[in-house]
Amino acid sequence: MLGEKVGKVKTKPSQVTVMILDPDPLVHIGVEKILSFSPGIQLYEKAKNYQEALEQLKVTQPDVLLIEVVLPDRSGAEACRDISEAFPSIRVLFLALHHEKSSVYSAVLAGAAGFLLKESARERLVSVIEFVANGHSIFEQDTLKEFQQWILQTRESEGDHDWNLSLQQTRVVELVAKGKTNKEIAQTLELSEKTVRNYLATVFKKLHITHRSRIISLYKEWQVDE
């Protein structure tokens, strides 16, 4: 069952535990080599697809999950959203080949803790893992500014949608636009993560969409019309 909760297993309290979800075995080898030089980080498991990752997560829940944008059986954003809801203690960090806006926006909306290019992973991976494991988020500031602008532009261009949001719903959307995860939004607004998800669900309903990925398609449509 997806939402099954199990306790974490750690070799020592100060150690950050990591799992990687990527269809490319060469990425597994590369990440394992990088992390092998950091005694403060332990690589728990390696999965090639979403279903395989779920089976492993039921047994061992890492502090940080490294995930590829494109998976064989599900999009990375969908996997991030579902895993974050089922295992809220796990921090999800995307490792991607390209810095495409739609992929980054999907990561933000799915509740990811960050987005890192694979080409920069060798130099930054250890520090970024430690950073997000401590409750922080990492996204390019220019990208987040563009994301905030997209939300404003979408509100103006999608006049047939109901943008009459409550103050709290607006605050949630603004925090999403700043790259905050559902957990961070809950802490900032002193709400439960479930309440945050409910607020977001209401926003999606007012936009007449049924899935987070639809927001990305709205963005692409707005770019074409611009």
Strand 64-67 relative to strand 91-96: parallel, antiparallel, unpaired? parallel
Q: Which pLDDT value is given to residue 142?
A: 65
Banded model confidence at residue 181, pLDDT cuts 50, 70, 90: confident
Domain interval for residue 211: 142-225
Q: Which pLDDT value is given to residue 137?
A: 83
Domain count along the chain: 2
The residue-averaged pLDDT of 9-35 equals 84
pLDDT at 23 over 60: yes
Q: Which pLDDT value is given to residue 224?
A: 40
Name which of 213, 102, 93 is nearest 150 in CA terms.
102
Q: Does 2 fall in a domain?
A: no
The residue-averaged pLDDT of 28-37 equals 92
The residue-averaged pLDDT of 91-102 equals 85
Q: Does 54 fall in a domain?
A: yes
Instruction: Let me know whether 117 and 194 are in one domain.
Output: no
Q: Does 221 fall in a domain?
A: yes
Boundary-marking domain end, from 120, 139, 158: 139
pLDDT at 221 over 50: no
Read off the tokens for 67: 């995930």
Instruction: Let me know whether 67 and 105 are in one domain.
Output: yes
Q: Does 8 fall in a domain?
A: no
Banded model confidence at residue 75, pLDDT cuts 50, 70, 90: confident
Q: What angle do CA 201, 103, 17 make, to 5 degrees?
A: 85
182-188's contacts with Cβ under 8 Å and 24+ in sequence apart are 182/84, 182/88, 182/111, 183/88, 183/111, 183/135, 184/135, 184/137
Q: Does 9 fall in a domain?
A: no
Phi/psi at 120 (5° precision): -100, 0
pLDDT at 117 over 70: yes
Instruction: Let me know whether 176 and 80 are in one domain.
Output: no
Tell me how far the alpha carbon of residue 121 is from its chain's centroid.
17
The residue-averaged pLDDT of 57-73 equals 92
Instruction: Let me know whether 160 and 74 are in one domain.
Output: no
The residue-averaged pLDDT of 79-93 equals 89
Q: Which pLDDT value is given to residue 92?
A: 94
Cα separation of 163 and 1, whole Å?
A: 36
Helices 76-86, 101-109: inter-axial angle, 10-degree rounding: 10
Instruction: Let me know whether 156 and 108 are in one domain.
Output: no
* Torsion over CA: 61, 69, 226, 157 (sign): negative
Boundary-marking domain end, from 123, 139, 155: 139
Instruction: Let me know whether 98 and 171 are in one domain.
Output: no
- Burial status of residue 133 (CB atoms within 10 A of its CB: 0-12, 13-18, 19 or more): buried
Banded model confidence at residue 47, pLDDT cuts 50, 70, 90: very high
CATH value at residue 74: 3.40.50.2300
CATH value at residue 160: 1.10.10.10
Instruction: Let me know whether 150 and 180 are in one domain.
Output: yes
Q: Which pLDDT value is given to residue 206?
A: 65
Instruction: Tell me the sheet residues that pair with 67.
Output: 21, 94
Instruction: Let me know whether 81 and 160 are in one domain.
Output: no
159 vs 107, residue with greater confidence: 107
Looking at residue 15, the DSSP 8-state letter turns out to be P
Q: Which pLDDT value is given to residue 199?
A: 84
Instruction: Let me know whether 60 and 105 are in one domain.
Output: yes
Phi/psi at 41 (5° precision): -130, 130
Banded model confidence at residue 108, pLDDT cuts 50, 70, 90: confident
The identity of residue 77, as a single letter, is: A
Instruction: Let me know whether 39 and 85 are in one domain.
Output: yes
Tell me how far the alpha carbon of residue 212 is from its chain's centroid.
12
The answer to whether 16 and 133 have CB atoms below 8 angstroms apart is yes
Name which of 85, 47, 89, 86 is nearest 66 in CA terms.
47
Name which of 151, 145, 118, 113 is nearest 132 in CA terms.
113
96 vs 155, residue with greater confidence: 96
Instruction: Let me know whether 159 and 207 are in one domain.
Output: yes
pLDDT at 161 over 60: no
160 vs 178, residue with greater confidence: 178
Instruction: Let me know whether 128 and 21 are in one domain.
Output: yes
Which pTM was predicted?
0.64
The residue-averaged pLDDT of 213-218 equals 47
97 vs 208, residue with greater confidence: 97
Boundary-marking domain end, from 139, 154, 181: 139
